[in-house]
């Protein structure tokens, strides 16, 4: 084996990359203010507070070796980035958007969603979930449930830091674990929230759901009203 | 010979018969990762199967989506013909996948040859940028689940095409050049790869290998040319071939293919039209008429085929995957005979297998 030009040329490539990486850090001013982001010397040794991390954007102009020093630095979270499903409830009236129509469970490829529909005291069905379960260990984060939910109720969350000590009970999320407010969703998905499609859908769905809810609960109210005079008579 | 390759971590081993250091027989032992993909595909509705195809070859999930979408669209006929814009986005995604996958495979071939980190990291950098694009458009870096029958799950977000253009037009070319300069003339690499693991054109055809393994053996067969799908017939690109079919050719063919992919990408990014991205309405219950179809694409690792038989119900009656990694493995023994143990590692690396696709 002879070592000649090829190896030397390879070393030149690595050397230039090495230099480029450090000049990039000096040029952009990140060499000393990584981590905490402040200008004091001590900031170099401090970790930034949660939520204060520098977001590193990688684009066509990025050069040198780029390493994102997670968790002190982070990659941007894109709006469509999806991890686990959540159920949205509306802030205005506190109503869960889900009507327990079961389409998400039908379309879920690993079949990790199951739910039970709420019943009125009379025994008729109410378009609300009584309970809603997702086995988060089985979920494969494909997002089909969110895509095909006709009531805009199930959405994909972006929280990916999900380390946990126990996985047998805590990873089967029930309704209470899944609920997030529409304010939270509008914050994580600003584009989709303000998009024409979802705005129109929201209005349509709210109306449709309201009608169905009135119908289901109206029946209860009427029977209750009927029942009370009898009780008085007795 | 136990798991030694980072992608064969306990899921693949080789039963090697040796005479001293020389290989006289080799049997790949697999099945440790078997997940019943094909049987699950017969339980699932057609749409539910889409995210499962991502998990076949997890480095090329966009390409897998493409193949499966083509197979089902064939059955559905004209009503599922994707609109223009969707076709362009599909090609862009598939070619970005090819660059990302080849970057990975070049980097990790060097790892197998004993040079971990620097080459792999340099290659992975470019892959990172491409995965950022995938994440931005589809929501996930690896398990994209982006294609739908008759189109795509979502349109490109605003600003996407500009960044893609910037990366494609003046970045990737330079990086491929750098990788080429860095590795292709390196004497140590030449010494380890030239004349190692030769697969003759006849053998390559007879073992039904495909992709870079076949083309390195000087057989200019590429599904994008042999049976154009999507809108590949509109783009100009060459089918590079190797001359000797050795390990070096299989490495270098990937560098050349990346350049061709960049050529396609440049054309596609310039020509992409505006318009809808879905044919018809989005539905989770797809009407698939009875019949059978074989949809195939040129995936980075070779020809990926999906054979789907429908009996008119909501699920496939029969679903079969022709996966390139699995079929390329059959030629492994042929390539290894007469070489030493150390070469076997490199030869396996040059096949660029992903076990998710081998065992399905």
Q: Which of B309, B304, B274, B5 is nearest to B155 (CA)?
A: B274
Contact B49, B316 (CB under 8 A): yes
Q: B129 and chain A: CB distance < 8 Å anywhere? A: yes
Q: Identify the band that residue A225 occupies on the pLDDT scale cut at 50, 70 and 90.
A: very low
Q: Which of B165, B140, B109, B160 is nearest to B343 (CA)?
A: B109
Residues A133 and A168 in one domain: yes
Residues A43 and A114 in one domain: no
CA atoms within 13 A on the CB side of B133: 27
Average pLDDT over residues A204-214: 73
Beta-strand ranges (E) seen in A95-182 are: 113-119, 125-135, 154-156, 172-173, 179-181
Contacts of B288 (CB under 8 A, 6+ apart): B46, B72, B75, B76, B310, B312, B314
How confident is the model over B319-329, as pLDDT tens digits? 999 999 899 98
Average pLDDT over residues A1-30: 81
Beta carbons of B167 and A59 less than 8 Å apart: yes
How confident is the model over A39-80, as pLDDT tens digits? 677 767 777 777 777 788 888 778 777 777 788 788 888 888
Q: Identify the band that residue A177 occupies on the pLDDT scale cut at 50, 70 and 90.
A: confident
CA atoms within 13 A on the CB side of A222: 6
Beta carbons of B182 and A14 less than 8 Å apart: yes
Domain contains A234: no
Examine the fold and report which residue of A17, A41, A74 is the final residue of a domain before the chain moves on: A74
Domain contains A231: no
How confident is the model at residue B262, as a pLDDT? Answer: 92
Contact B88, B62 (CB under 8 A): no
Q: Which of the residue ranges A11-15, A207-211, B55-59, B302-306 would you say has the lowest mean pLDDT?
A: A207-211
Residues A93 and A67 in one domain: no
Averaged pLDDT score across all residues of chain A: 79
Q: B138 and chain A: CB distance < 8 Å anywhere? A: yes
Residues A142 and A207 in one domain: yes
Could you write out the DSSP letters of every residue in B198-262? ---HHHHHHTT--THHHHHTT----HHHHS--TTGGGS-------SS-SHHHHHHHHHHHHHHHH
User: What's the pTM?
Assistant: 0.86
Residues A65 and A155 in one domain: no
How confident is the model at residue A152, as a pLDDT? Answer: 83
Can you tell me the distance from the alpha carbon of B75 to that of A167, in angstroms, rounded to the nearest whole number? 42
Instruction: Look at residue A145 and tell me whether its pLDDT is greater than 50.
Output: yes
Nearest-Å Rg of the Cα atoms of chain B is 20
Q: Identify the band that residue A231 occupies on the pLDDT scale cut at 50, 70 and 90.
A: very low
Could you tell me the CA-to-CA distances from B39 to B97, B294, B313 in Å, in that order?
27, 17, 16
Q: Identify the band that residue A9 occupies on the pLDDT scale cut at 50, 70 and 90.
A: confident
Name the closest residue on chain A to residue B169, using Cα atoms: A60
Instruction: Look at residue A18 and tell me whether its pLDDT is greater than 50.
Output: yes
Q: Identify the band that residue A218 occupies on the pLDDT scale cut at 50, 70 and 90.
A: low
Residues A172 and A93 in one domain: yes
Looking at the partner chain, which of A9, A17, A103 has a beta carbon nearest the beta carbon of B185? Answer: A9
Residues A113 and A11 in one domain: no
A16 contacts in B (CB within 8 Å)? none
B129 contacts in A (CB within 8 Å)? 58-60, 62
How confident is the model at residue A32, as a pLDDT? Answer: 62
Domain of residue A105: give its range. Answer: 85-214
Residues A40 and A148 in one domain: no
How confident is the model at residue A187, as a pLDDT? Answer: 86
Beta carbons of A6 and B189 less than 8 Å apart: yes
Domain contains A79: no
Domain contains A224: no
Can you list the alpha helix ranges (DSSP code H) found in chain A? Answer: 5-27, 103-107, 144-148, 175-178, 182-188, 190-194, 196-233
Query: From the first residue on, what is the mean pLDDT of each consecutive set of 10 residues in chain B (360 residues)?
Result: 67 86 88 87 89 89 91 86 90 92 89 82 88 90 89 88 89 89 86 88 91 90 88 90 89 92 91 86 84 90 91 89 90 89 86 85
Examine the fold and report which residue of A55, A74, A93 is the final residue of a domain before the chain moves on: A74
Domain contains A96: yes
Instruction: Look at residue A1 and tell me whether its pLDDT is greater than 60.
Output: no
Looking at the partner chain, which of B153, B178, B187 has a beta carbon nearest the beta carbon of A7? Answer: B187
Q: What is the CATH number of the domain that holds A124?
A: 3.30.70.3270
Q: What ipTM goes with this model?
A: 0.79
Query: How many structural domains are present in chain A?
Result: 2
Domain contains A91: yes
Q: Which residue has the higher pLDDT, B308 or A2?
A: B308
Contact map slice: B 202-261 vs A, CB within 8 A: none
Residues A49 and A123 in one domain: no
Instruction: Look at residue A223 and tell me whether its pLDDT is greater than 60.
Output: no
Beta carbons of A60 and B129 less than 8 Å apart: yes
Can you tell me the distance from the alpha carbon of B42 to that of A113, in angstroms, rounded to the nearest whole number? 20
Could you tell me the CA-to-CA distances from A80 to A1, B136, B140, B253 in Å, in that order?
52, 6, 8, 35
Contact map slice: B 81-100 vs A, CB within 8 A: none
How confident is the model at residue A2, as a pLDDT? Answer: 58
How confident is the model at residue A46, as a pLDDT? Answer: 74
Residues A96 and A127 in one domain: yes
Compute the nearest-CA separation of A116 from chain B (Å).
21
Q: A107 and chain B: CB distance < 8 Å anywhere? A: yes
The number of beta carbons lying within 10 Å of the beta carbon of residue B34 is: 12
Residues A136 and A37 in one domain: no
How confident is the model over A23-41, as pLDDT tens digits? 887 887 766 665 666 667 7
Q: B338 and chain A: CB distance < 8 Å anywhere? A: no
How confident is the model at residue A222, as a pLDDT? Answer: 46
Select the residue from A142, A154, A155, A195 to test the B interface by mutation, using most B Cβ atoms within 10 A. Answer: A142
Q: Which of B330, B338, B247 is nearest to B23 (CA)?
A: B338
How confident is the model at residue B256, as a pLDDT? Answer: 92
Residues A24 and A94 in one domain: no
Compute the nearest-CA separation of B173 from chain A (Å).
12
Contacts of A231 (CB under 8 A, 6+ apart): none
Domain contains A233: no
How confident is the model at residue A224, as a pLDDT? Answer: 42
Select the residue from A7, A13, A76 to test the B interface by mutation, using most B Cβ atoms within 10 A. Answer: A13
Instruction: Look at residue A210 and tell me whether its pLDDT is greater than 80.
Output: no
Examine the fold and report which residue of A74, A98, A115 is the final residue of a domain before the chain moves on: A74
Domain contains A103: yes
């Amino acid at each position: 084996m002879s070592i000649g030009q090829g190896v030397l040329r390879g070393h030149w490539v690595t050397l230039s990359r090495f230099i480029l990486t450090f000049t990039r850090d000096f040029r952009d001013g990140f060499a000393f203010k990584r981590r905490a982001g402040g200008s004091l010397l001590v900031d170099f040794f401090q970790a930034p507070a949660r939520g204060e991390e520098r977001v590193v954007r990688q684009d066509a102009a990025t050069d040198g070796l780029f390493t994102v020093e997670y968790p002190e630095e982070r990659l941007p979270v894109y709006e469509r980035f999806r991890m686990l499903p959540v159920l949205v409830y509306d802030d205005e009236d506190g109503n869960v958007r889900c009507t327990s129509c079961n389409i998400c469970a039908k379309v879920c490829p690993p079949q990790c969603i199951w739910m039970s529909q709420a019943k009125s005291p009379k025994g008729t069905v109410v378009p609300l979930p009584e309970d809603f379960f997702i086995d988060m260990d089985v979920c494969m984060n494909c997002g089909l449930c969110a895509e095909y939910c006709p009531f805009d109720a199930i959405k994909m969350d972006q929280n990916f830091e999900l380390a946990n000590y126990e996985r047998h009970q805590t990873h089967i999320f029930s309704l209470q674990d899944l609920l997030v407010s529409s304010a939270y969703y509008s914050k994580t998905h600003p584009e989709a929230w303000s998009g024409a499609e979802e705005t129109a859908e929201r209005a349509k769905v709210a109306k449709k759901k309201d009608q169905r809810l009135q119908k289901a609960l109206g029946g209860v109210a009427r029977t209750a009203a009927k029942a009370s005079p009898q009780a008085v008579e007795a | 010979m136990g798991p030694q390759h980072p992608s064969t971590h306990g899921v693949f081993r080789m039963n090697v018969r040796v005479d001293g250091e020389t290989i006289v027989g080799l049997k790949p032992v697999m099945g440790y990762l078997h997940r019943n993909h094909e049987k699950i595909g017969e339980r699932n509705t057609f749409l539910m199967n889409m995210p499962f195809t991502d998990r076949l070859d997890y480095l090329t999930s966009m390409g897998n989506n493409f193949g499966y979408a083509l197979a089902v669209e064939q059955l559905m006929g004209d009503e599922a013909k994707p609109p223009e814009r969707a076709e362009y986005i599909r090609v862009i995604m598939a070619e970005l996948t090819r660059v990302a996958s080849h970057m990975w495979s070049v980097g990790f071939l060097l790892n197998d040859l004993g040079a971990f980190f620097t080459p792999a990291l340099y290659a992975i950098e470019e892959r990172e940028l491409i995965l950022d694009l995938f994440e931005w458009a589809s929501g996930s870096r690896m398990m994209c689940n982006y294609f739908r029958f008759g189109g795509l799950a979502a349109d490109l977000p605003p600003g996407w095409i500009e960044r893609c253009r910037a990366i494609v037009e003046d970045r990737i070319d330079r990086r491929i050049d750098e990788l080429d300069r860095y590795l292709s003339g390196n004497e140590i690499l030449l010494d380890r790869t030239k004349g190692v693991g030769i697969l003759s054109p006849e053998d390559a055809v007879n073992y039904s290998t495909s992709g870079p393994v076949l083309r390195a053996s000087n057989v200019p067969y590429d599904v994008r040319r042999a049976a154009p799908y999507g809108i590949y017939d509109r783009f100009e690109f060459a089918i590079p071939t190797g001359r000797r079919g050795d390990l070096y050719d299989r490495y270098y063919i990937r560098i050349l293919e990346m350049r061709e992919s960049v050529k396609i990408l440049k054309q596609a990014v310039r020509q992409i039209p505006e318009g809808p991205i879905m044919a018809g309405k989005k539905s989770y219950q797809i009407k698939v008429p009875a019949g059978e179809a074989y949809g195939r694409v040129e995936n980075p690792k070779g020809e990926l085929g999906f054979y789907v038989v429908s009996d008119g119900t909501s699920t496939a009656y029969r679903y079969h995957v022709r996966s390139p990694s699995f079929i390329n493995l059959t030629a492994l023994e042929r390539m290894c005979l007469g070489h030493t143990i150390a070469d076997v590692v490199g030869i396996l690396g040059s096949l660029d297998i992903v076990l998710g696709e081998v065992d399905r």
